[in-house]
Amino acid sequence: MRKVKLYIAISLDGYIADNNGQIEWLTGFPNPEKTDYGFADFLPTTDTTLLGYKTYEHILQLAETYPHPDHTNYVFTRSERPAAPHVTFVHGEDIPGFVQQLKSQPGKDIWLIGGGELNAAMLEHDLIDEITLHIMPVALGKGRSLFSGKAFEKRFKVERTKVYASGVIESVMSMMATFS
């Protein structure tokens, strides 16, 4: 079965974007070792991406065209959207059914890009198999939460952790069985 892998960066207080949805605190963070934080190794393990419409919109603001044209890309939205290059819009509310069906197909793993609202829907239904989390030593005070501020308890097993010279902490963790 293919895994769903969330690969994402957060502020030290758990936000993926500031209150306006911006990420300069992340993209502008000093990177003296010029590392890609493992992204070049991670990307070829996947052939599919999942993202919420707000993240898709933000990516297009930054990149003009969707940057992973060789992946199969699904953008979740509750609205009708005109067809767009490289992506398929998914309107259904049945996220678990859609993702379980994707996972059962042959292929590489599935990259859950975010953002927080989609992450929360995925986590709520135990659909995230692995998380690669980059914790940036930056506090934002407020912003968009990793899991959209939703309340639920899910546990992960930390598989490995690495600290970069910049102070960024990388933690790779896998989903544990749900506790009742």
Which is nearer to ligand NAP, 79 or 104 (by Cβ)? 79
93 scored as a contact of ligand NAP (CB under 6 A): yes
Q: Of 50, 112, 113, 173, which one interacts with ligand NAP (CB under 6 A)?
A: 113
74 scored as a contact of ligand NAP (CB under 6 A): no
Which is nearer to ligand NAP, 26 or 106 (by Cβ)? 26
State the burial class of residue 147 (Cβ atoms within 10 Å of its Cβ: 0-12, 13-18, 19+): buried
State the burial class of residue 91 (Cβ atoms within 10 Å of its Cβ: 0-12, 13-18, 19+): exposed
Q: CA of 152: how far to CAs of 90, 157, 171, 180, in Å?
A: 25, 17, 21, 12
Residue 18: CB minimum distance to ligand NAP, A: 8
- Contact between 76 and 95 (Cβ < 8 Å): yes
143 scored as a contact of ligand NAP (CB under 6 A): no
Helix (H) or strand (E) holding 24: helix 24-27
Contacts of 106 (CB under 8 A, 6+ apart): 2
Residue 159: CB minimum distance to ligand NAP, A: 19
Q: Of 4, 16, 50, 175, which one interacts with ligand NAP (CB under 6 A)?
A: 16
- The footprint of ligand NAP (CB under 6 A) covers 8-9, 16-17, 21, 23, 26, 52-55, 58, 76-79, 93, 95, 113-118, 121, 144, 148
